[in-house]
Amino acid sequence: GPWQVPPFVLQLLMSKYDDGSGRRGELNFETFVECGMIVKGLTEKFKEKDPRYTGSTTLTYETFMTMIMPFLVSY
């Protein structure tokens, strides 16, 4: 579908959860699940605004912030 996670998003998630151990590209299981839940939740929120499943939508800034804020404060 149109909601494939771009590589740069995966890189951002990997850098966010880097534990400083020097093991690039590795996540422990708990962190992997957490990242997956964030991506899944944000994707579901986006899909609500993309009823035709085109991979594109128009949002106001307020709507965007309302969509993402729960994910930023809960993880």
- Which stretches within 17-54 are classed as H helix? 29-48
Q: Residue 58 domain-assigned?
A: yes
Rounded mean pLDDT of 26-31?
Answer: 83
Cβ neighbours, 10 Å, residue 13: 19
At residue 3, does pLDDT exceed 80?
Answer: no
Please state at what angle helix 61-74 crosses helix 29-48, rounded to 10 degrees: 160
Query: What is the number of domains present in the chain?
Result: 1
Q: Residue 69 domain-assigned?
A: yes
Q: Residue 12 domain-assigned?
A: yes
Q: Residue 1 domain-assigned?
A: no
What digits encode the pLDDT tens for the residues 33-67?
Answer: 888 888 899 999 999 999 999 999 999 999 999 99
**Residue 47 belongs to what domain range?**
7-74
Strands (E), 1-75: none
Q: Residue 19 domain-assigned?
A: yes
Q: Residue 41 domain-assigned?
A: yes
Q: Residue 74's pLDDT is what?
A: 66
Supply the CATH number for residue 32's domain.
Answer: 1.10.238.10
